[in-house]
Amino acid sequence: MVPQQHRTITAVGEEGNVTDVALPSSPTLLPTWLRRMGQLLVILLPVILLFLFVLYPLAAIMLQSIFPNMFTDSPSLIPNLNAIGQVVKNAENYTALGNSLWQGAITALLASVIGTMLAILARRTDLPLRKAMDILVWIVFFTPSFLVGEAWSLIFLRGGIPDQYVHFSDGFIAWFFSPVGVIFILSLKSFPYVYLSVSAALQWLGSEYEDAARLAGARTGRAWLSINAPLLLPAILAAGLIAFAEAISDFGTAATIAQSSNVTLVTYQIYSAINTSPVNFSLAAALSLFLFIAIVLALLVQSAMLRTRSFQVISGRSRPARPVALGVWKWPATIVCLVIFLFALVVPISACIVLSFLHAFGQGLVASNWTLDNYTAVLSQGSDDLDALFRTLWLALGTATITALVGLPIAFLIRRTQLPGRRLLSLFTLVTIAVPGIILACGYIFAWNAPYLQYIGIGGENGIPFYGTIWILLAAYVGGSLPYATRLGIGALDQVGQNMLDNARIQGASLFQMLTRIVGPLLRSSLISVWLLVFTGTMFELAASELLYPPGQPTLPVRIIALFNDFKLGPGMALSILNIGLVLMALLVLRSIPWVISRLSRGGKRKRESNVSTDSTTH
Amino acid sequence: MYLQIQQLTKTYGSRTVVSNVDLEMEEGEILSLLGPSGCGKTTILRMIAGLVSPESGTIRVGDRILYDGKREMPVEERGLGMVFQDYALWPHMTVAKNVAFGMRLRRMPARQIEARVRELLELVNLADFGNRYPFQLSGGQQQRVAVARALSTEPRIILLDEPLSSLDTALREVMSADLVRLFKRLKVTTINVTHDQNEAMNMSDRIMVLRDGHVQQVGTPIELYLHPANAFVASFMGPANMFAGEMVPHPEQGVVRLNGTLQQEITGIIHAAVRPRLKEHASLLCRPDDVIVHQHLQQDKDTNMLVGTVSHSSFVGGRWRTLIAVGHEKEYNVLAFAPFQLQLDQQVWLEMPHERCQVVPE
Q: Is the predicted pLDDT of residue A22 greater than 50, yes or no?
A: no
| Model pLDDT, residue A610 | 40
Given CB atoms, is A322 within the 8 Å cutoff of chain B?
yes
Provide, as residue numbers in chain B, all residues whose Cβ is less than 8 Å from the Cβ of A217. Answer: 76-77, 79, 102, 105-106, 153
Chain B residue with Cα closest to A211? B51
Provide, as residue numbers in chain B, all residues whose Cβ is less than 8 Å from the Cβ of A211. Answer: 49, 51, 75, 82, 84, 88
Given CB atoms, is B74 within the 8 Å cutoff of chain A?
yes
Q: Is the predicted pLDDT of residue A521 greater than 90, yes or no?
A: no
pLDDT, one tens digit per residue, over A174-209 is 999 999 999 999 999 999 999 998 988 888 888 889
Mean pLDDT lowest among A64-78, A360-374, A434-448: A64-78
Phi, psi (degrees; rounded to nearest 5) at A361: -75, -15
Q: Kindly report the average pLDDT of chain B as a whole number.
A: 91
What whole-number distance in Å separates Cα of residue A7 and Cα of residue A24? 12
pLDDT, one tens digit per residue, over B105-116 is 999 999 999 999
Edge-to-edge strand order for the sheet containing B254-258? B265-268, B254-258, B241-248, B281-286, B358-361
Q: At B62, which amino acid appears?
A: G
3-state SS, B75-111, equals HHHCCCEEECCCCCCCCCCCHHHHHHHHHHHCCCCHH
Mean pLDDT lowest among A260-269, A305-314, B226-235, B332-341: A305-314
Considering CB atoms only, which of A218, A226, A313 is closest to B135?
Answer: A313
| Model pLDDT, residue A611 | 38
Mean pLDDT lowest among A298-307, A422-431, A470-479, A598-607: A598-607
Mean pLDDT lowest among A399-403, A507-511, B132-136: A507-511
Which of B322, B317, B341 has the alpha carbon at shortest distance from B333? B322
Q: What angle do CA A277, A279, A280 make, to 5 degrees?
A: 135
Q: What angle do CA A353, A355, A360 make, to 5 degrees?
A: 160
Considering CB atoms only, which of B75, B92, B134 is closest to A215?
Answer: B75
Q: Is the predicted pLDDT of residue B252 greater than 70, yes or no?
A: yes
Q: Is the predicted pLDDT of residue A564 greater than 70, yes or no?
A: yes
Confidence band (pLDDT; 50, 70, 90) for A524? confident
What whole-number distance in Å separates Cα of residue A240 and Cα of residue A95? 23
Q: At A364, which amino acid appears?
A: G
| Model pLDDT, residue A510 | 76
Which of A373, A333, A286, A369 has the alpha carbon at shortest distance from A67? A286
| Record: contact A322-B51, CB cut-off 8 A | yes
> Looking at CA atoms only, how far is residue A222 from chain B in angstroms?
9
Q: Which residues of B122-140 are buried (b: 16+ CB within 10 A; e: fewer)?
A: ebbebeebbeebbeebeeb
pLDDT, one tens digit per residue, over A203-250 is 888 888 999 999 999 998 899 999 999 888 888 988 899 899 999 999
Phi, psi (degrees; rounded to nearest 5) at A249: -100, 0
Mean pLDDT along residues A6-18: 33
* Percent of chain B residues past pLDDT 90, beyond the cut: 69
What whole-number distance in Å separates Cα of residue A544 and Cα of residue A549? 8
| Model pLDDT, residue B169 | 85
Q: Is the predicted pLDDT of residue A7 greater than 80, yes or no?
A: no
CB B176 within 8 A of CB B147: no
Looking at residue B127, what DSSP letter applies? G
Q: How many helices (H) and strands (E) does chain A have?
A: 32, 0
Q: Is the predicted pLDDT of residue A608 greater than 70, yes or no?
A: no
| Record: contact B101-A226, CB cut-off 8 A | yes
pLDDT, one tens digit per residue, over B55-78 is 999 999 999 999 998 899 999 999
Confidence band (pLDDT; 50, 70, 90) for A614? very low
Confidence band (pLDDT; 50, 70, 90) for A619? very low
Query: What are residue B72's DSSP bridge partners?
Result: B67
Phi, psi (degrees; rounded to nearest 5) at A264: -95, 120
pLDDT, one tens digit per residue, over A63-97 is 888 887 777 777 777 788 888 888 888 888 999 99
Mean pLDDT along residues A375-398: 89
Mean pLDDT lowest among A6-15, A23-32, A497-506: A6-15
**Residue A137: CB partners within 8 Å, gap ≥ 6?**
A118, A191, A192, A195, A196
